[in-house]
Structure 1
């Protein structure tokens, strides 16, 4: 049983290899995952996962209830590598009553009988360590994409607009400090057009910001798939890009899984010693620029593009 109810798409992508690698080595093992409502569609698409348990409410009693339900399935092992656990998380894990509980930096809690020490290594290494504790052999830590449903409309859009060389750029992250302002967005388009006059610029979007982008960005300088609804659409849009530009968000991890050249932006108070757990894995093709408080601190003219 994996506890993955954080609701973050990037976390799903980065940790997706564990289900595949478990089934490779022990096909008979039953894998269950506790998920959030907003990401359950991703986990449903992974054929290596056998059971899903959705946290409909974020309250302690609701977590106790779902833990009691899971306990009836008699899971032997629970893995939760969350750094900061809430009381509801502890209640959930305790309610499952597994013989083995593996946590991250939780050696002060008797609930966990296996523990991964705090470190500044990539999160995939923590998952690998957890499986090593259980006797697994070395594994491939590359991300797995789910079975992406076919979108005929998107396929036509890609055939009409993305058969030539193009750059995919994303202006938004989950937190306010990760969002480029409208002025910075226009500055990005101008710089990319100046440096890459023959390349198309694909602006990535999602339902909440599509109209905002269309109203603020200069027409004729970019293309956009207005009907982007899920991360599956974004995966297909990034698939053939020659360069992906984005704040720290799931798009960075998608591009990393495709081994794309990436320009990414991360917040840190110490660029000489950044937090490494969620950096893209293909470091050789990645340029990372750090900011201290807000992504708009970055001087776009200082970004090396070619």
Structure 2
């Protein structure tokens, strides 16, 4: 019965997409009037709310401003990542989508249209009808997409591939005429609370291992038993290093009640991703099943032990791999991360 329900749901989704494209997909009505990029306005559609995506694409705004300081850069963001985008000094305007639904997307599109953006970037792999409504409503002259050659709405297209996502953004920038692009991302203006700074100076002045037990999906979360096994393994492998357990408000109490108190350190007042970034900054090594933390660690060029779901580990999906792949150990699982046996993991 569940399989039948999924099939029906998939069919209805595909039908809605087909119908939406039939009605909504039109060529841009505006013409590209700029002879160069120096004074144009560029909008990035980044409403996915994913922290890892923000980190990986953050180099784009810096590289545009480096070559064309007068370009105006806008971003359509979700509330989950609004603070991150506001911390970026290279972004001029932010438009927050209050809800992922067709009408709010249309409203934001109309708001953006008043600002007369010349170019829109949306490298989302799977566009929904609300995305098409937003882009059409924004009424730019140039729309750059990923694997959207079949849509009239996009007049520039990055071909489908299995390369790192930063290469897709690089290709899109080259289409506009940018050159010598540095794809490495950074955190130019991350706020650090005084309380956290004091904690780091007091407890993390010596070498430490940062470990995160939770990913966004359930299959990416280590069980309580595995968490305890990890702490024991790390204590044995690194007897002279502090083990810092990364947390966030939803799981802090769960971790405190299940983990042996004498085997780890935790900043219990972790509130935002800004706190996590600062806690990772000086770590000796980072262990995580969560890709946002993978990319934070990668930005600091930290040695990483990461975990990815893959039906065939010999042909992995490379879009979201760490940038410093030479400094990372990747372990794959098929259905649930707890399938992985800790004795198979090399820590050194």
TM-score, normalised with respect to structure 1: 0.99
Q: What residue ranges of structure 1 are gaps of 5+ in the alignment?
A: none
Q: What residue ranges of structure 2 are gaps of 5+ in the alignment?
A: 1-42
The residue number in structure 1 matching 2:40 is: none
CA contact (8 A) 1:42 1:146 kept: no
Q: CA deviation at 1:249?
A: 2.1
CA contact (8 A) 1:102 1:130 kept: yes
- Once residues 217 and 174 of structure 2 are traced to their aligned partners in structure 1, the CA distance between those partners, rounded to angstroms, is 34
Among 302, 317, 331, which residue is 1:275 paired with? 317
Q: CA deviation at 1:271?
A: 0.3
Aligned residue pairs: how many? 306
Q: Secondary structure at the match of 1:141?
A: coil
Matching of residues 116-195 of structure 1 within 5 Å: 116-195=158-237
- Once residues 282 and 108 of structure 2 are traced to their aligned partners in structure 1, the CA distance between those partners, rounded to angstroms, is 41
Q: CA deviation at 1:146?
A: 4.0
Q: Secondary structure at the match of 2:157?
A: strand
The residue number in structure 1 matching 2:115 is: 73
Is 1:26 aligned to residue 68 of structure 2? yes
The residue number in structure 1 matching 2:287 is: 245
Among 82, 104, 113, which residue is 1:40 paired with? 82
User: Which of these two proteins has the greater Rg computed from alpha carbons?
Assistant: 2
CA contact (8 A) 1:59 1:88 kept: yes
- Once residues 87 and 150 of structure 1 are traced to their aligned partners in structure 2, the CA distance between those partners, rounded to angstroms, is 39
Q: Secondary structure at the match of 1:224?
A: coil
- Once residues 179 and 169 of structure 1 are traced to their aligned partners in structure 2, the CA distance between those partners, rounded to angstroms, is 12
The residue number in structure 1 matching 2:124 is: 82
**Structure 1 stretches of at least 4 aligned residues deviating more than 6 Å after TM superposition:** none
- Once residues 280 and 268 of structure 2 are traced to their aligned partners in structure 1, the CA distance between those partners, rounded to angstroms, is 15
Q: CA deviation at 1:149?
A: 1.5
Q: Secondary structure at the match of 1:119?
A: coil
Is 1:109 aligned to residue 151 of structure 2? yes
- Once residues 171 and 128 of structure 2 are traced to their aligned partners in structure 1, the CA distance between those partners, rounded to angstroms, is 23
CA contact (8 A) 2:212 2:287 kept: yes
Q: Over aligned residues, Cα RMSD in angstroms?
A: 0.7
CA contact (8 A) 2:287 2:304 kept: yes
Matching of residues 222-241 of structure 1 within 5 Å: 222-241=264-283
